[in-house]
Amino acid sequence: MIRQIAASERHEARTGEWLRSNYLFSFADYYDPANVQFGPLRVFNDDVVSPDSGFPMHPHTEMEIVTIVLDGEITHTDSLGNDLVVGAGEVQRMTSGTGITHSEANRSKADVHLLQLWFLPNKRGLMPSYEQMKIDFLDKKDELVPLVTGQKVLEDVAFINSNSTIYYGNFSQGKDFDYQTYKLRKSLVYVLEGNIIVNGVELGDNDQLRLEDQDMISFHATSKVSFILVDVPAVEANY
């Protein structure tokens, strides 16, 4: 099964003057029973945070939370004692487990563009933990760059307590690439900018494609394009 979802079908949310968000799945005041999760992927938000603002301290439990900074920098503070700046090209993973509180603040004078993805963990009751990695994925060309994985077969990536992997792609016009998958997996492609054909389906800025029951995912960049690929198990996680 292949399902194309246009950028216009994302849920657009505005929080005052400081946060501009687009939700790919049900989140906060947006609820669609047919669009709650994709395998263990529960949240995928595309956020722009205005200067001198941010998410105040708030709690989480039983969730793997990944933040990918595309432009600008965000300051992370949490109940584990971390107070760190996450810049463009860096990835943050937070295991909320039995309970953690944190804030994410834009203390700069420019917008911050980030993606936040939440996954249901493969085990409940984990101890809260935090990991941050500078991967410099934004500078890499014509390859799928793994950012976060729980499959323990990739090096130099952040670890997540989910049998899932997030990749970043930045392809030149005309680039072709095949990604082998399995029918026990699902894949989500989210275009950040540009145009690409994925398994015969044309996608543009902020379009997404959800793929199931596939053996191969074929990419053909019809322009310079950047995108996210999320690979997850097909079985829905429910806790």
Q: Tell me the HSE value of 202 on the side-chain side, using a 13 A CA sphere.
A: 3
Banded model confidence at residue 151, pLDDT cuts 50, 70, 90: confident
Residue-range domains of the chain with CATH: 8-233 (2.60.120.10)
Instruction: Output the pLDDT for position 152.
Output: 72
Does the pLDDT of residue 155 top 90, yes or no?
no
pLDDT, tens digit, 9 for 90 and up, residues 5-61: 999 999 999 988 889 999 999 999 999 999 999 999 999 999 999 999 888 889 999
Amino acid type, 75:
T
Dist CA 79 CA 99 (whole Å): 9
Strand pairing partners for 74? 86
For the sheet containing 201-203, what is the strand order?
176-180, 216-221, 196-198, 201-203
pLDDT, tens digit, 9 for 90 and up, residues 82-138: 999 999 999 999 999 999 999 999 999 999 999 999 999 999 999 999 999 999 999
Strands 158-159 and 144-149: parallel
Secondary structure element (H or E) that encloses residue 42, with its range: strand 41-49
Q: How many CB atoms lie within 10 A of CB 56?
A: 10
Banded model confidence at residue 239, pLDDT cuts 50, 70, 90: low
Q: Which residue has the higher pLDDT, 235 or 138?
A: 138
Mean pLDDT of 225-234: 96
